[in-house]
Amino acid sequence: MFSRDRWQEIFQTISKNRLRTFLSGFTVALGIFIFTVLFGMGNGLKNTFNEFFMDDATNTFFIFPGRTSMPYKGFKKDRQIEFRNDDLEDIKKDFALYLDHITPRISKSALARYKGESNTYTTRAVAPSHQIMEKTIIMKGRYINEKDIKDQAKNIVIGRLVEIDLFGRSENALGKFLEVGGVIYKVVGVFQDDGGDNEERYIYMPYTTRQLLDKGTDKIDQIILTYKTDIGYAGAMAFDTSLFKYLKEKHKVAPQDQNGIYLRNTADIVKRNMMFANVLQWVVIFVGIGTLIAGVIGISNIMVFVVKERTKELGIRKALGATPASVIGLVLQESIFITTIAGYIGLVLGVGILSIMGNSFKEDYFITNPQVGMDVVITATLILILFGVIAGYVPARRAARVKPIVALRDE
């Protein structure tokens, strides 16, 4: 392996057969290049799924009131279901074993004004737990707290882009008073959200304050809750079924009615979508493996031709005393060298293309930060080298068995 004479001979052979060497190397490099790019794009698709579905807490239920589609227990169909504060308390009491956090949410659009600037934003009236569920990041000040809820305080938390829109980039909104929907509120916090620009244009306030302003009502638009993660997926699905049934019974909705109450379980949604993302990635891997197999076949064909082309040369070597093992070793060493160098070139090009792509395909093709682990592509390269060795060994071994006199007659 480390014989200087052998390496000199290999380089001489390569220099004399540039086209053959190029074709052998090109087949390997192309296989690794395509595999690297495809696998990286598969990871990019998975990253997009993670980014889209993991922005909010994944152990979350969103519960919406709907309109009944069938009569039940003396109530007519087409009845609008309404959630109230007592629904929150009942869920806290009856599902304490499962429950982690719970919050109502009341959404309304309102015009916000500060000095000469104004814009329309969606306001969300919530409880403090809403911050955990939305993974809201406080930049300045604080979030809505329990004292705000108890006092029905006119305090608000605004998004980063709301502050920029109304206060500019130089003025700090914290502690300032902002008119929202004709009511003056104090800005107690500014938040950012990794979910994107739309998420940073919300205004949060205590839900009790919103209910007070809405003529003292206790209605809520929806209920959001998180369950304890240690109950697992099976426990989450059992909680889903029990809670759905409980709310239907409480609000007199027929068990078969699919429209009276809606419950969206993010655990189930995330699992299904991640399964879909995994399937996509396996499809990409399958295509990549197919490319590697095509590369192996190409190497095999080339190595058969190479050995056949050198039959007379190998015969001369044997006639001069070369052993079958040395003949096989020479062919394999050349094959491994070419395969390794070409594989490395294909790997570098593939990683380079993925780096150049970056997030440029995110908007049109939902591919975010396509990358591939070095362990994966190095393993793929080693596998291709192994098959290259096998592809070279079979014809080399056959040639080594040929008698020198027969090999010398080969044309």
The string of pLDDT tens digits covering residues 204-221 is 999 999 999 998 899 999
Q: Which of 202-206, 269-273, 285-289, 342-346 has the lowest mean pLDDT?
A: 269-273
CA distances from 81 to 16, 94, 210, 346, 370 (A): 84, 20, 20, 61, 45
Q: What pLDDT score was predicted for residue 381? A: 72
- Proportion of the chain above pLDDT 70, given as a percent: 90
- Dump pLDDT digits (tens) for 108-140: 999 999 999 999 999 999 999 999 988 899 999
- Dump pLDDT digits (tens) for 350-388: 888 888 887 777 666 667 778 887 777 777 777 777 777
Provide the 3-class DSSP secondary structure of residue 359: coil
Q: Which of 16-20, 30-34, 80-84, 197-201 has the lowest mean pLDDT?
A: 16-20
Q: What pLDDT score was predicted for residue 128? A: 97
pLDDT band at 182 (very low <50, low <70, confident <90, very high): very high
The set of residues, in sequence order, having a beta carbon less than 8 Å from that of 395 and lying 6+ positions away, is: 303, 304, 306, 307, 308, 331
Q: Are 130 and 164 in contact (CB under 8 A)?
A: no
Q: Is 230 left (phi over 0), alpha (psi -120 to 50) or beta?
A: alpha
The DSSP secondary structure of 47-81, one letter per residue, reads HHHHHHHSSS-SSEEEEEE-B-SS-BTTBPSSPBP
Q: Are 102 and 127 in contact (CB under 8 A)?
A: yes
Q: How far is CA 283 from the centre of its chain?
A: 16
The DSSP secondary structure of 84-151, one letter per residue, reads EHHHHHHHHHHTTTTEEEEEEEEEEEEEEEETTEEEEEEEEEE-TTHHHHHT-EEEEE----HHHHHH
- Dump pLDDT digits (tens) for 53-79: 555 567 889 999 999 999 999 999 999
**Phi, psi for 253 (deg, rounded to 5):** -110, 130
The DSSP secondary structure of 133-156, one letter per residue, reads HHT-EEEEE----HHHHHHT--EE
Q: What is the average pLDDT value for the chain, to the nearest integer? A: 84
Q: What is the mean pLDDT of residues 190-198?
A: 86
- In angstroms and rounded to an integer, the radius of gyration of the C-alpha atoms of the chain is 34
Q: How far is CA 286 from the centre of its chain?
A: 19
Is pLDDT at 247 greater than 90 in this prediction?
A: yes
The DSSP secondary structure of 2-13, one letter per residue, reads --HHHHHHHHHH
Name the CA dihedral angle for 196, 197, 201, 202, rounded to a multiple of 10 degrees: -10
CA distances from 137 to 76, 160, 229, 378, 398 (A): 45, 10, 21, 39, 69
Domain ranges (residues) in the chain: 4-53+271-408, 67-98+228-259, 101-226
